[in-house]
Amino acid sequence: MQIKKLSRSDVVFVLALTISCLISYLVATYILRPFVDQTNDSLGGMWAAVATVFVFRSTNETSMSAARARLFATSVSFVLCLLYLLILPFSAVGMAVLIGLGALIAIFLGRREDVITTGITTAVVMVVAELGPADRDWQPILRLLDTALGIGVGVATAWICGSLFLRSRSSTTEH
């Protein structure tokens, strides 16, 4: 295995990703703290940070593409899990059925590449709902909000980082 030397852009990318995940986590936990218990507060921060990692890419175009995919998957999962949890309690069979339904919806809408993210999102929302039954109905809503926050921070930070890096790169090549 050959170890690659890190470029300046690699270091900037990693630092920007690190900072954007921290921002997502802190903002989500700060917003949720007055409304939910500590478990949901921390979970919201984690969920926002995961969404940030998911959409933070090297270019604006790939960040926006990842953001659309993440938002699609979360939205499908949100609708399925919310409807299910309003009617029934968690069950492994119910979770599996929702994962299958999410896959069918993604395929039907021509988004086969989003089946995996939709399934992962549904599994996590359902299991979290099982672990915190007192507020299980809120899990899909909270996770949708956390995801939207993480997407926003990730895309914005990637755009800012890309703009600054490209600007500084073009100014050094012009001289």
Q: How would you class 6 by CB atoms within 10 Å of its CB: exposed for 0-12, middle for 13-18, buried for 19 or more?
A: exposed
Q: Judge contact between 25 and 45, C-beta under 8 A.
A: yes
Please count the other Cβ atoms lying within 10 Å of the Cβ belonging to residue 85: 22
Which residues fall within 8 angstroms of residue 47, CB to CB, at 6 or more apart?
28, 142, 143, 146, 147, 150
Q: Which of 160, 128, 161 is nearest to 144 (CA)?
A: 128
Measured distance CA(27)–CA(24) in Å, rounded: 5
Name the pTM for this structure. 0.84
Measured distance CA(64)–CA(22) in Å, rounded: 20
Measured distance CA(134)–CA(174) in Å, rounded: 61
Residue 131's identity, in one-letter code, is L
Percentage of the chain modeled with pLDDT above 90? 58
**Tens of pLDDT along 45-95?**
999 999 999 999 988 899 999 999 999 999 999 999 999 999 999 999 999
What is the pLDDT confidence band of residue 175, given thresholds at 50, 70 and 90? very low
Q: Judge contact between 47 and 138, C-beta under 8 A.
A: no
Give yes or no for residue 132 having a pLDDT over 80.
Answer: no
Give yes or no for residue 170 having a pLDDT over 50.
Answer: no
Higher confidence at residue 35 or residue 121? 121
Which pLDDT value is given to residue 143?
85
Question: Residue 108 is encoded by which pair of tokens?
Answer: 């039907």
